[in-house]
Structure 1
Amino acid sequence: MSSEASREKKRDQQLIETIIKAYLKQLRERPVVTKALTSATVSALGDIIAQRIIAKGKPVGIQWRSVAALASFGFVVTGPLIHHFYKVLEQVVPKNTTYPGIKKVLVDRFVLAPPYLLLFFYLVPILEGKGHDAAVKKIKDTFITALIMNWKVWTILQYININYIPMEYRVLFGNGVALGWNIYLALKRR
């Protein structure tokens, strides 16, 4: 490797380290806003990727209203809601109870997941300008299938998240995994 290439690689590594440090600083100092912005970004990216998958290489433009709707939902609902949910979950199911990890996952899967998905399938079409009737139809057409898939995909991931990931990084972990899930939801919505 040439010395120029070596210097460039080192600059890239330093840039990545700087970005990560800045992100972690914001996560400590402004956790809700940082998690909201992360959720918005991941939601928007998932929708853009889903749109490209649906287009199958055809030169079709991005539906920016859809991207904005998902980003808005991620910013206003997902990031803040999940941040606060994990804090409440720690209080509702303390570590000194019997099988706290399993109980937390059960609360997440059966208390949070169903209304969260209902809210998602209702609000996103509203934010896209499609209206109440379209949102209700979307719920009728996709909610049960999406909920069952949510339970299949997210249960083990949430067990790992809730039991092994430090609380301040749980939303970030979920967002990392959620990119694929958001693509699935965006495809399901269509």
Structure 2
Amino acid sequence: MSLSKPVYSLLGVYLEQLFNHPVRTKSITSSVLAASANYTAQRIAGHKKINQESVIAYGLFGLIFGGSVPHYFYQTVERLFRHDLKFRRLFQFLSERLVFAPFYQLLSLYFLSIFEMNSHEVAVANLKKLYWPLLRTNWQYLSIPVIINMTYVPPMLRTVTMSIVSFIWVVYIAQWRRRLQDKQAGGADGKNTK
């Protein structure tokens, strides 16, 4: 089955934008994918009414951080580990898993909460509850896609590739965060009724 001419044209325009304006294109792509993932997570959870603030928060996070931070990280890793370095891919993988993933997980959990109009205290409390369980899960399930991305995907496309993988990850995070918020709301209601 071949792709139609409009699809090829659209793909060509996208790749041209990616080459000429990488951070902007990756940020917009990440924003659309993150907002779509949050919307999808809410639909999967069976919400009758979509929490638009949460969708906007995920889209805003993707726009501000989702394209730029990974773009500069992958650029730095490419420069830091020369092509002639023995075990180059291993060092790139370890830097992604042990430096980037913990930092980006912290950044995402904190700012998603802030963008949802929570206070700093609530954002930090959510971060304390979710950070380690999500990071361990990230290491467990996203390490194989990271290996594939760093081994087989050209550097220019790594951020976009991980944004697509992140769609599934964001659906997972959004559901996990929503369960925590529902549990906290239920706990607060229970305290108020006593």
Match of 1:109 among 97, 106, 110: 97
Question: 1:52 and 2:40 equivalent?
Answer: no
CA RMSD of aligned residues (A): 1.5
Structure 1 counterpart SS, 2:35: helix
Match runs of 1:16-35 below 5 Å: 16-35=7-26
Match of 1:43 in 2: 34
The Cα shift of 1:172 comes to 1.3
The Cα shift of 1:15 comes to 1.8
Match of 1:3 in 2: none
Match of 2:163 among 159, 175, 180: 175
Structure 2 counterpart SS, 1:145: helix
Which stretches of structure 1, 4 residues or longer, exceed 4 Å deviation after superposition?
A: none
Question: 1:87 and 2:75 equivalent?
Answer: yes
Letter in 2 for 1:41: V
The Cα shift of 1:75 comes to 0.9
The Cα shift of 1:96 comes to 1.4
Report % sequence identity: 31
Whole-Å separation in 2 of the counterparts to 1:77 and 1:168: 17
Gaps of 5+ in 2: 179-194
Whole-Å separation in 2 of the counterparts to 1:17 and 1:99: 37
CA deviation string 1:70-95 (max 9, x = no partner) = 11111111201101111100111112
Match of 2:107 in 1: 119
TM-score of the superposition, structure 1-length normalised? 0.89
Letter in 2 for 1:54: A
Structure 2 counterpart SS, 1:95: coil
The Cα shift of 1:63 comes to 1.0
Match of 1:97 in 2: 85
Question: 1:64 and 2:55 equivalent?
Answer: no
